[in-house]
């Protein structure tokens, strides 16, 4: 990885134009006695069923391949080639590189599978793109709403450090609308992969300067996200991508939600648990604001320093122990808030755990020789009480980031994003809403060209 740019460079973050060419979560909030194992088992079963269905559909798609290739399909009458990667069939529109040798599987999460290819774009450049095929997007209303949110946010976000949609499509007709594909710019390797490689090979790739630049860019992205009244809720190394030049993009907005929306049905499973804030995992929603994202930044920052996840708990209890062993048990003031926002029973459960003093972070991380400023920042991020945690606006001005911070180049969103996702909709209403998003999608200059679009 090359060095991050120096602080004197005024254009130290990537512009979009500069890109090189080349299951349903449970409806109840988790409490200390409710381990999500049942839900996880259901998820597992659902995944099996889904895989079976996917296979049947792949077989059908293969049979139909000749037809699909021969006639324009979907709301914009595009032509598609079907390409099989790791047993999953992707419908790839005309204009994209469909040579199997040039298509790379990037990975799959709970909600989709992603491949990398390239496409010629409207500005004449060929770009690397990531195509995400959503998994069973309309399985149930919750799932459909998640897809809707993700699509909506990928269109609203316009920031150098945040991924945005370059194309949204389906090869299906409206009466048989089943598959949703979202195309984003290929943003590099995920931080998860980079950190894993560091561990696997026992060789550090990320220098102190890289780490600072990464943390700065995450916070710069969050400043924009939070100013739009959105919480990301899923910040983790797997959702952060880095180019070889250390340019960073925050990926995957499927779990983001607007601050106004008090819906809590997804709350328990909003993040890979290791990066979740205590108020997300253990106590109630009242104090759950965008400060949950700042806790995740603290976890990621510490992992960047040490190379290992900070709170790798095998279950929620182990997670709690690890958090409190470092950050201390809730003090009287926080316990009072927990009691007020939850119940005295919740307070009693928390008090039944072994009590720990907050440790001296300088001592804990001493082997990794962090600067005083780094320690001061993570001390302020990893605070149990969200109301006392550093905000994004404060964090970006922290001395640790002074080398990179350029206040005039740290944009806020110019309006609060309306996700239009708070109303109750049935599965098929969500499907209609997603269909409409695809139909109305406004192509960008950096979007892949649709052959013949000028004629339409
Ligand atoms: N635009 C992109 N550029 C580079 N890599 C990407 C891009 N989009 C997704 N990926 C990678 O593809 C993989 C799968 O992405 P996806 O968003 O489906 O998974 P995830 O974040 O692991 O899933 P989950 O939603 O379960 O958290 C991830 O490893 C992610 O880093």
Helix (H, G, I), strand (E, B) or coil at 222: helix
Atom of ligand 1 nearest to the CA of 252: 17
Query: Is 196 one of the annotated binding-site residues?
Result: no
- Pair of tokens at residue 116: 């990398």
The CA-atom distances, in angstroms, between 447 and each of 74, 128, 139, 240, 437 are 18, 11, 29, 21, 16
Pairing of strands 165-169, 112-120: unpaired
Q: Tens of pLDDT along the chain (456 residues)?
A: 666 665 444 344 443 333 332 222 222 222 222 232 333 344 445 555 555 666 666 655 555 554 445 489 999 999 999 999 999 999 999 999 999 899 999 998 778 999 999 999 999 999 999 999 999 999 999 899 989 999 999 999 999 999 999 999 999 999 999 999 999 999 999 999 999 999 999 999 999 999 999 999 999 999 999 999 998 888 999 999 999 999 999 997 756 666 655 554 444 444 478 998 998 888 875 655 889 999 999 999 999 999 999 999 989 899 999 999 999 999 999 999 999 988 899 999 999 999 999 999 999 999 999 999 999 999 999 999 999 999 999 999 999 999 999 999 999 999 888 877 777 899 999 999 999 999 999 999 999 999 877 644
ipTM score for this prediction: 0.96
Taking alpha carbons only, the member of 154, 73, 86 closest to residue 114 is 86
Taking alpha carbons only, the member of 373, 286, 381 closest to residue 326 is 381
Question: Residue 234 catalytic?
Answer: yes
Decide if 161 contacts 248 (C-beta within 8 A).
yes
Centroid of ligand 1 to alpha carbon of 123 (angstroms) = 26
Helix (H, G, I), strand (E, B) or coil at 23: coil
Ligand 1 pocket, mutate which of 86, 107, 250 (most atoms under 8 A from CB): 107
Query: What is the b/e burial string over 289-317, where b = at least 16 CB atoms within 10 angstroms of the residue's CB?
Result: bbbbbbbbbbbbbbbbbeeebbbebeebe
What are the pocket residues of ligand 1 if the criterion is a CB atom closer than 6 Å to any ligand atom? 106-112, 114, 130, 132, 163, 184-187, 190, 238-239, 241, 251-252, 254
Using CA atoms, how far apart are residues 364 and 385, in angstroms rounded to an integer?
Answer: 21
Query: What is the b/e burial string over 20-45, where b = at least 16 CB atoms within 10 angstroms of the residue's CB?
Result: eeebbbbeebbbbeeebeebeeebee
Could you please report the per-residue DSSP string of 163-182?
--EEEEE-SS-GGG----EE
């Amino acid at each position: 990885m090359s060095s991050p740019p120096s602080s004197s460079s005024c254009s130290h973050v990537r512009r979009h134009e500069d890109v090189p060419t080349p299951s349903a979560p449970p409806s109840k909030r988790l409490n200390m006695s409710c381990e999500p194992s049942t839900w996880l088992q259901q998820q597992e079963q659902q995944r099996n069923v889904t895989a079976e269905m996917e296979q049947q559909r792949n077989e059908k798609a293969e049979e139909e391949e000749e037809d699909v290739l021969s006639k324009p399909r979907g709301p914009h009458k595009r032509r598609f080639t079907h390409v099989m990667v790791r047993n999953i069939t992707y419908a790839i529109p005309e204009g994209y590189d469909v040579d199997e040798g040039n298509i790379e599987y990037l990975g799959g999460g709970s909600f989709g599978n992603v491949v990398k290819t390239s496409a010629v774009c409207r500005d004449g450049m060929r770009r690397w793109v990531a195509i995400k095929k959503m998994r069973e997007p309309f399985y149930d209303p919750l799932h459909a709403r998640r897809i809707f949110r993700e699509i909506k946010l990928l269109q609203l976000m316009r920031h150098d450090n945040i991924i945005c949609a370059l194309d949204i499509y389906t090869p299906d007709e409206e009466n048989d609308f089943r598959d949703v594909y979202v195309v984003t710019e290929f943003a590099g390797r995920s931080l998860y992969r980079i950190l894993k490689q560091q561990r696997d090979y026992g060789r550090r790739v990320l220098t102190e300067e890289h780490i600072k630049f990464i943390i700065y860019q995450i916070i710069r992205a969050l400043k924009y996200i939070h100013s739009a009244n959105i919480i990301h809720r899923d910040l983790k190394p797997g959702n952060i991508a880095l180019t070889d030049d250390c340019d960073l993009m925050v990926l995957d907005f499927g779990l983001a939600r607007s601050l106004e929306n008090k819906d809590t049905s997804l709350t328990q499973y909003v993040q890979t648990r290791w990066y979740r804030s205590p108020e997300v995992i253990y106590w109630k929603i009242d104090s759950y604001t965008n400060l949950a994202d700042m806790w995740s930044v603290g976890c990621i920052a510490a992992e960047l320093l040490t190379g290992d996840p900070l709170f790798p708990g095998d279950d929620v209890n182990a997670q709690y122990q690890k958090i409190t062993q470092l950050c201390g048990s809730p003090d009287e003031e926080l316990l009072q808030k927990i009691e007020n926002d939850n119940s005295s029973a919740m307070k009693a459960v928390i008090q039944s755990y072994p009590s720990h003093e907050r440790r001296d972070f300088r001592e804990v991380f001493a082997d990794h020789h962090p600067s005083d400023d780094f320690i001061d920042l993570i001390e302020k991020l990893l605070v149990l009480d969200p109301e006392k945690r550093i905000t994004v606006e404060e964090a970006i001005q922290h001395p640790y980031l002074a080398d990179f911070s350029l206040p005039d180049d740290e944009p806020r969103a110019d309006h609060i994003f309306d996700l239009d996702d708070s109303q109750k909709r049935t599965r098929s209403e969500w499907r209609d809403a997603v269909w409409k998003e695809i139909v109305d999608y406004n192509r960008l200059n950096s979007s892949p060209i649709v052959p013949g679009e000028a004629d339409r």
